[in-house]
Structures are given as structure tokens and as C-alpha cells.
Structure 1
């Protein structure tokens, strides 16, 4: 998958996310189904933190001058919500109550950081030749880091839809 295609997927996925949370009230954004679940706001916080952490990882990976000889990894498992994944503490959300405009501003800011670092890459093929160690998935090519962002966001869009659906059940 080329970087141009990944950019398109990132854009489409973000537009879908923004469309889903658009018009939700403060209560809807910050309501938890139960004490073990995240609110929609917390899911968005997690997406923001993850994207910012990925920017750091990609930046560090780009500083390497050594070519990496690892293979791309299949990441589609990220879309399977039946397989629970525990977020690392560093990517977990806080209990901060956020309003819609603040969520949008933070989502836009984290995406701007991602695009800023990707736009510094003169030769996009370097993303397929450099790697950085992921805390959960281990050795990952930088292109997989970027690709996993939209898949990760799609996973959490499903979660947000589950949370929204729970409002109408109760």
C-alpha cells in the first residue's frame, strides 16, 4: 500500500469519526456505559494520545540510518473488536470531561503533527525500510505504524458506535 493510499484512508476514517461524534451532547460524549468502559470522549482521547505517540515513534524510526529487513505485518486483526486489546498506560485516557470543540481541536492537532512528520519524508520508500519497536506488536516497519493508525481508528469507531447504540437501549 502506497503512502498516498494511506493518506486517503486516514482522511476517510477521520471524516467518518467526526461525522459520528458531530452533534453529540456533552453528556453523550462523556457518559460511560459502566465503570469499566470508556466514554466516547475517552475513546477520542485515546486516539489522540496514540497518534501523538506514533508521531514520536515514526520520528525516532526515521532517525535510523540502517535499513530494516523485517516484513510488513498483517494489521487487519485490529478491526476485530471481539479480540480485546489492553491499551498501554501511556495511551489510556483520563477522566477529564471534554466538550465537542475541545475534542475536535485535539484530534486536528494530533493529525497535523502526523502530517508534519510525514511531509518531511523526501523518499516515502524509507517508511518501508525503517522500523521502530512497538510496545505491543514489537518490530514494525514505519509504514505499518502509519497504516495501523487508520485501522486503529476504525476499530474505535466501532467502539464509539457500540457506545452510541447503548444509549438508545437504555
Structure 2
């Protein structure tokens, strides 16, 4: 979870001091607000944690080979957000978003700290680009995914003149 913890610190640093108004402002109709990016991140992290728990109980052994999940940071490659992680247009405060991000982060940390590494290695589930990823690799994937969206937050701040 080292990468995830470090990246989460970076994420919170990037949004520190933003007003709730700026947080909810979209650079354009086709782009997400920073609030929507943060919502997407907790929906993804929570969804991945839930899927890991499900796969541990019900999943088949896939013995997935190691994937270059670090490539997730590359914003040149566009990937549509899975349905479950598409954010809403509803207004939210930074305090609310940080609480939700803390809850999903804790859930993933509990999995990382309590589950046998052998089980995390053997089981997995598919990613739209990488194919089957082991449950063990899905945990740091969340950190790389967040790094990608920190870059997006920086772009949004620049476009909004923040």
C-alpha cells in the first residue's frame, strides 16, 4: 500500500485549500470537475475493493502474469470509466469527498493487511486494457490510477485559472 498511501497524500495536497465552488466547477460541458474526479476515485477504489473481496470468496484461480500497471499514469491513452465509477453532477464539499476517499482507502488497506498474499497472487479479474490482473496487482493499480487523475486535476486547475 506504500504507493497508494503516498499518492493519496499527493492527491489531498493537490486539492488542499480549494473552495467548494471551484471544486464543483467544470472547465467545459465535456470535462469533469475536480469534484467529479474525486468522486470517480472513491467509486473506483470502493468498487475494486468490493470486487477483490468477491473474487477471494468466489473467484477462480487465474494466475495472471504481472502487468505493466504503471502505464495507467499515461493520460495519452483514453479509457472510458466503468459504469459504476461515472460521477454525478451533484454538488459536494471537499470535506464530504475526503471522508468517502478515506473510507474506501481504509477498506483497501484492510484487504492488503489481512489477506494471504498467495490468495491475492492466484486470483484476479480483468481490466479493459491489461486483461486479467492479479488481486495483488489491483491494489497498487489504485495508486497508479490516482496518479493519472492527479495529472487531470492539475489540468482542470490550469483551465479554471486556479
Q: TM-score, normalised by structure 2?
A: 0.92
- Say whether the 8 Å CA contact 2:44–2:85 is kept in structure 1: yes
Segments of 5+ residues of structure 2 without an aligned counterpart are none
2:146 aligned partner? 153
Q: Could you tell me how far apart the structure 1 residues matched to 2:13 and 2:67 are?
A: 30
- Say whether the 8 Å CA contact 2:66–2:133 is kept in structure 1: yes
How many residue pairs match? The answer is: 162
Q: TM-score, normalised by structure 1?
A: 0.88
Segments of 5+ residues of structure 1 without an aligned counterpart are 1-6
Q: Of the candidates 21, 32, 35, which is equivalent to residue 38 of structure 1?
A: 32
Offset, 1:159 = 0.1
| Residue 165, structure 1, aligned to residue 158, structure 2 | yes
Q: Could you tell me how far apart the structure 1 residues matched to 2:94 and 2:151 are?
A: 19
Instruction: Give the RMSD, CA atoms, in angstroms.
Output: 1.7
- Say whether the 8 Å CA contact 2:56–2:123 is kept in structure 1: yes
- Say whether the 8 Å CA contact 1:64–1:130 is kept in structure 2: no
Moved more, 46-55 or 126-135: 126-135
Secondary structure (helix, strand or coil) at the match of 2:40 reads helix
Secondary structure (helix, strand or coil) at the match of 2:87 reads coil
* CA deviation profile, 1:35-87 (whole Å, cap 9, x unmatched): 00000000000000000110111112212575433201111221111111110
